[in-house]
Each structure stands twice: as C-alpha cells, then as structure tokens.
C-alpha cells in the first residue's frame, strides 16, 4: 500500500495584500509533512482552479481578509464542480464573520478557520478529510 | 479511456495525476510510462539552474512568455527542496509564473526533491516524458537553488542555462569543476549590478582556457537586467531564447554530438531506473526481515565494516 504525500494549494484570492496568515499556515502544513504549493497574492478563482488541476492537489486552502469571501470562495467550488474536481477538499481562513460561515459551507467550503485557530487544528482537519486519490 | 490515452491527447488532469503517481511510487505508474515512452523525444528540454535567489523562476517566466509569443506550447517542471526533517515542502516557484496559470498552452508542475540530491526530483525524468508525450514543444526544468555540485540537470536537458549574478565570488569560483562545466548558455542576471563586467570577462577567460573542439559549441554569455526596466528585461530574454534555438540547431546539424548527448541521457535514465528496480526492493527486503538492523548493529559495534556487510548482503540477495 502506497501512502500518498498530501499536496495542498495555499491561495490568496482577492485584492488584499496581507499574506502573513497564508504564510503561517503554509509553514504549518510544511512542518506537518505536506507539500504546499504557494501561488502568492491576488489570484483569481480561475487561476486557483487551473493551478489545482496542474498540481494535482488534495486540498485548496484559501486565505481572505478583503471581505469578498462570499463571492470568490463559492466561485472556486463552482468551477471545481464544472471541471468534475469536487473531490478536492476546500477550506478557508481569515477574517470571516460568523454569520457568513453557514453560507460558505452551503457553497461547498468544507470548513472555515477564523483568527486564533491553532494551526495544529487545521493540519488535523486536512489529514482527516482529504480523499485518497486512487 | 485509459490514462495514457488521455495524456497523449493532452489532458492536463491525467498528466498531473501520472506525475503524482510517479512521485508517490504508485503501482502501475511505470507501466503507463512504458506506454507513452514511444511518443516522446520531440520536445526541446531546457534546464535552468543556478544558486538560490539568482532569478531562475523570473527568467523561466520570461522564457515561457517568449516561446508563447512564437506559438510554442510550454511545460514547466519547477523543483524546490523537501525538508530533510518532516518531508514537507513549500513549492513557491509558481509565484513568479502565475500569469501563465490560465493559459491552456502552458502546464506548470511543482516537484519537491523528496530526498534526491542532484538538484532535482527522482520523478523528473519520467515527468519530462509525460509533458513530452502530451505534445509540449518546449519543456523547462527549473532546478532547486544549486551549489557547485548539483549537475544532474545535464543528463535531462538538451540545453542547460546557468544563471549567475554579479558579486558572488572571485575568479577562482569560476575555475572550479562542476556546475560551471555544464552550461550551454551562461546568463548574468541582475546585470545592472556592480561586477557584471568582471563576471562576464571571467566566464569568457574560463571558456578561452577550456580545451575546446574548434567546431564545438562555445557557450554564449548573455546579460539580463532588472525586471523593473521591462524593455531591457524582455530584450535580454529574447536574446536567451534565440541562443536556445541556435543551440538546438547546432546539435541537429551535428549528428555525432547529438548522439553523444542522447546516449548520456539514456544511460543515466537506465541507471536511475536500475536503482529503483534493484536497490529499493533490496533495501525494503533487508528492512523487512531485520537484516538491516543486524547490519547497522555490526557496523556500529565495529564488528564489521560498511563495505563487507553490504557486500555480504548483496551476494545473498543477488544469489551469487
């Protein structure tokens, strides 16, 4: 039985330039033994999904502090669905009001991690929820 | 449709999955490579190597754009190091190339070294075959930031570009064996900085001194300035690209040299495959029946030495 190395895309959609959170989580994923593909700031949903396809990732982790999460995060899950890539786990983090979280979950974002979440919790969540690729 | 058929049709997801399967040592991956291998050998493989921060990813980004302008499709394999402690990795070369993410004529795949030492990933050879069989015209392999010794790229690339920056060392550095010898094209990046003239002449002196076949390829030295001066930067990139094309033409007109290069490539890939076919299962077997533990104990306690214990185990395994 081969054990897959977990590959995660850490992406920053939208226009805010604050990538500290994304870098912290990327580091935590690396320290957990994941391979982290980091794409930098200001990614469009289209470029995020194209990157996920080229990199064959198990998980897309999006960090957003711009307030446009209700537009951009669901767009990513919609594009994934169109491309039949729904087996990719999608999670989000950043400054996201609690009343928005149910809406995001409904749109297919599996979990939202708000400020103050220990990184170990995110790591465990990814480990337990990615789908093993056949 | 089977995986290899999808790849031959250029399907991105199938290709990225096969690369993943190769990296993970997934059963069946080698058999799929065997099916696509007959369709390979068409792409021109460019290796880009140089020290960390020399600007390899930025140059790669520029070279992608230049080849796209010529209507060529491009595949990129960007290698970054894995942590020796956790096995994790941050693969960040894409940051500089993301403007090409949505271009269907460009396929960028990040690879982690996963313990390989030559500046590449063990999956790189097969990953080149995947991109080649998909029909990519140009394949760019960007190595990890290299020191003096990581020369493995020479066995995979048709054209090796060594990226240097001014101010990294004196003339003795350029005389050293290893990475300086494998370049087909030298690029002095960040050439607006002090020391570019000095570096340029040092490389040229080195090339003058090297024992050269008068009909051989003399590596050109090209300068690229800051990306902030866009026109200069693009002009520098275009000069590199025309040298790549010239280098390719040199080889296609020189059958003997081309043959030598292809032989070296084939031999290297066979050696790497033999390692996978013989050494890895051997090690796994030694670990499984505890022989390896005994060997470690013997060597640690000085009851035996590494060579004798390895030879004894090898004889047993190979049955001679």
Give the rounded percent of residues in chain B with a pLDDT score beyond 90. 62
Region A71-75: what's the mean pLDDT? Answer: 94
Count of alpha carbons within 13 angstroms of residue A19, beta-carbon side: 17
Tell me the shortest Cα–Cα distance from A26 to chain B, in angstroms: 7
Which chain B residues are closer than 8 Å to A34 by Cβ?
A: 88
Inter-chain residue contact B88 with A31, CB threshold 8 Å? yes
* φ/ψ of residue B232, rounded to 5: -60, -45
Q: What is the dihedral of CA A29, A32, A35, A41, to 10 degrees?
A: 10
At B155 the pLDDT is: 92
Tell me the shortest Cα–Cα distance from A52 to chain B, in angstroms: 9
> In B133-265, which ranges are E strands?
138-145, 159-164, 185-188, 221-223
CA-to-CA dists, residue B88 to A33, A60, B64, B112, B206, angstroms: 4, 16, 28, 9, 39
The domain segmentation of chain A, as residue ranges, is 7-129
At B177 the pLDDT is: 65
Q: Starting from the edge strand earliest in sequence, which strands make up the sheet with B106-112, in order?
A: B106-112, B74-80, B138-145, B44-50, B159-164, B185-188, B221-223
Quick: pLDDT tens for B127-153: 999 999 999 999 999 999 887 778 889
Mean pLDDT (chain A) is: 92
**Above 60 in pLDDT, residue B170?**
no
Q: What is the dihedral of CA A25, A26, A32, A37, to 10 degrees?
A: 150
Choice between B116 and B72, residue whose per-residue pLDDT is larger: B72
Q: Which fold has domain A7-129?
A: Rossmann fold (3.40.50)
Of B23, B98, B109, Cβ closest to residue A40: B98
Q: What is this model's ipTM?
A: 0.91
**Above 80 in pLDDT, residue B176?**
no
Phi-psi region of B114 (alpha: psi -120 to 50; beta: other; left: phi over 0): left
At A1 the pLDDT is: 41
Inter-chain residue contact A36 with B95, CB threshold 8 Å? no
Buried/exposed code over B270-289 (b: 16+ C-beta within 10 A; e: otherwise): eebeeeeeeeeeeeeebeee
Tell me the shortest Cα–Cα distance from B254 to chain A, in angstroms: 36
Quick: pLDDT tens for B258-299: 999 999 999 999 998 888 888 888 888 898 889 999 999 999
Quick: pLDDT tens for B19-69: 999 999 888 999 999 999 999 999 999 999 998 888 999 999 999 999 999
CA-to-CA dists, residue A32 to A25, A65, B116, B132, B221, angstroms: 10, 25, 20, 33, 43
Region B178-191: what's the mean pLDDT? Answer: 88
């Amino acid at each position: 039985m081969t054990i897959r190395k977990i590959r995660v895309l850490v992406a920053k959609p939208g226009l805010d330039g604050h990538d500290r959170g994304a870098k912290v989580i990327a580091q935590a994923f690396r320290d957990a033994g994941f391979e982290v593909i980091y794409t930098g700031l200001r990614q469009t949903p289209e470029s995020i999904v194209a990157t996920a396809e080229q990199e064959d990732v198990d998980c897309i982790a999006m960090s957003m502090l711009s307030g446009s999460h209700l537009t951009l995060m669901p767009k990513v899950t919609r594009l994934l669905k169109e491309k039949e890539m729904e087996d990719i786990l999608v999670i989000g983090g950043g400054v996201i009001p609690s009343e928005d979280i149910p809406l995001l979950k409904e749109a297919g974002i599996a979990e939202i991690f708000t400020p103050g979440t220990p990184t170990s919790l995110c790591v465990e969540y990814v480990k337990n929820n990615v789908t093993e690729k056949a | 449709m089977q995986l290899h058929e999808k790849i031959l049709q250029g399907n991105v997801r199938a290709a990225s999955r096969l690369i993943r399967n190769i990296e993970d040592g997934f059963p069946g991956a080698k058999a799929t490579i065997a099916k696509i291998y007959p369709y390979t050998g068409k792409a021109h493989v460019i290796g880009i190597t140089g020290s960390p921060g020399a600007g390899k990813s930025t140059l790669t980004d520029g070279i992608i754009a230049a080849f796209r302008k010529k209507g060529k499709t491009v595949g990129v394999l960007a290698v970054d190091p894995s942590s020796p402690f956790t096995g994790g990795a941050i693969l960040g070369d894409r940051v500089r190339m993301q403007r090409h993410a949505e271009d269907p004529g460009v396929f960028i795949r990040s690879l982690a070294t996963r313990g390989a030492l030559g500046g590449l990933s063990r999956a790189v050879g097969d990953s080149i075959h995947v991109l080649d069989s998909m029909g990519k015209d140009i394949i760019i392999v960007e190595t990890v930031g290299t020191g003096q010794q990581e020369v493995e790229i020479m066995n995979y690339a048709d054209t090796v570009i060594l990226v240097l920056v001014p101010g990294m060392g004196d003339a003795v550095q350029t005389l050293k064996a290893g990475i300086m010898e494998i370049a087909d094209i030298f690029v002095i990046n960040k050439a607006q900085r002090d020391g570019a003239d000095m570096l340029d002449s040092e490389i040229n002196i080195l090339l003058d001194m090297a024992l050269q076949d008068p009909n051989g390829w003399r590596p050109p030295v090209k300068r690229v300035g800051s990306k902030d001066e866009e026109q200069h930067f693009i002009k520098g990139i275009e000069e590199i690209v025309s040298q790549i094309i010239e280098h390719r033409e040199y080889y296609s007109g020189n059958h003997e040299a081309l043959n030598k290069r292809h032989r070296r490539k084939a031999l290297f890939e066979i050696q790497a495959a033999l390692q996978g076919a013989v050494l890895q299962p051997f090690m796994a077997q030694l670990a499984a029946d505890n022989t390896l533990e005994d060997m470690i104990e013997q060597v640690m306690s000085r009851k035996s030495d590494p060579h004798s214990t390895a030879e004894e185990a090898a004889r047993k395994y190979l049955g001679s």
